[in-house]
Amino acid sequence: MRLRLFMVLAAAVFIMTACTGPSAQEEMYNHLEEAVKKEEGFREQQQPLVKLENEEQELYEKIIDLNMDQFDKIQSLSKEATGIVEERQEKLEAEKESIEAAKEEFDKIKPLIDELDEEQAEAKEKAEELVKTMEKRYEAYQKLYNAYNEALKLDKELYEMLQNKELVEEDMQKKIESINNSYNQVIEANEEFNQYTEEYNNQKKELYEALDLNVSYEESEKSEE
């Protein structure tokens, strides 16, 4: 029912520079790698979110195995599941805050692109491509956030419905169908976000090469369920 598989920004380590002061390319490097650090909050939310999703799924399965003679138990488990949905919402907001901070840091490279001279035309082109890809990645994350936020809203509505003893089964099935459709949108948005993240990581490497920056890369990580 749920899937979290997020690619993250690749981190690079600056090995050596021949410049005595911070050049435009070194400042660009600093902002790009600071953006990676500011996405740590995004990375850190992944495993806790997966854990909460699993806990909620277990509660949901317990609920649907019960009958109306056990309504008190259904009500209790539904309230517990609602609490988990609220925790997931908190993690999602922390994740979004981290992405926005990283984007704000990334945007600081834009004025530096104009400082690259004519001999760095290739690097300038690579930097402009990177900016376009980051914009698309950020837009993809906004879609992902909105889709996941909507899914959480529907989850919460379902658990509220389950606390009503007069619940009509047809209404519950419609809500479950809406939830499943919503998570399909999450998966689609997630795939788009990952696509742009991969493009971004590759283009950043190309930019560093064009800037003649001697860097090494850390392995990118994924968070998955």
pLDDT in tens, 153-212: 999 999 999 999 888 989 999 999 999 999 999 999 999 999 999 999 999 999 999 998
C-alpha Rg value of the chain to the nearest Å:
22
Looking up residue 213, the CATH number of its domain turns out to be 1.20.120.570
- Angle 185-188-190 from CA coordinates, rounded to 5°: 105
Q: What is the pLDDT of residue 19?
A: 46
CA atoms within 13 A on the CB side of 40: 5
Q: At 87, which amino acid appears?
A: E
Residue at 126: amino acid letter? K
Tokens representing residue 214 in the block: 């001697």
Tens digits of residue pLDDT in 83-127: 999 999 999 999 999 999 999 999 999 999 999 888 889 999 999
The total of other beta-carbon atoms located within 10 Å of residue 25's CB is 23
Cα 19 from Cα 177, distance rounded (Å): 60
Q: Give the integer Cα–Cα distance in Å for 209 and 154.
A: 46
Instruction: Find the domain containing 107 and state its range.
Output: 5-224
Q: Can you tell me the distance from the alpha carbon of 25 to that of 127, in angstroms, rounded to the nearest whole number?
A: 10
The model carries a pTM of: 0.87
Rounded CA gap, 145 and 166, in Å? Answer: 33
pLDDT digits (tens, 9 = 90+) for 13-68: 544 444 445 688 889 999 999 999 999 999 999 999 999 999 999 999 999 999 88
What DSSP designation does 118 have?
G
Query: Which two tokens mark 40?
Result: 């740590």
Q: Alpha-carbon distance 161 to 220, whole Å? A: 41
Q: For residue 25, what pLDDT is reported?
A: 85
What residues does 14 pair with on adjacent strands?
Answer: 215
Can you name the residues that pair with 12 across neighbouring β-strands?
217
For residue 223, pLDDT beyond 70: no
| Residue 218: DSSP 8-state | P
Give the DSSP letter of residue 211.
T
- How many domains does the structure of the chain reveal? 1
Q: What is the pLDDT of residue 225?
A: 37
Residue 60, amino acid: Y
pLDDT of residue 13: 57
Do the Cβ atoms of 137 and 196 come closer than 8 Å?
yes
User: For residue 181, how far is the Cα from the chain centroid?
Assistant: 19
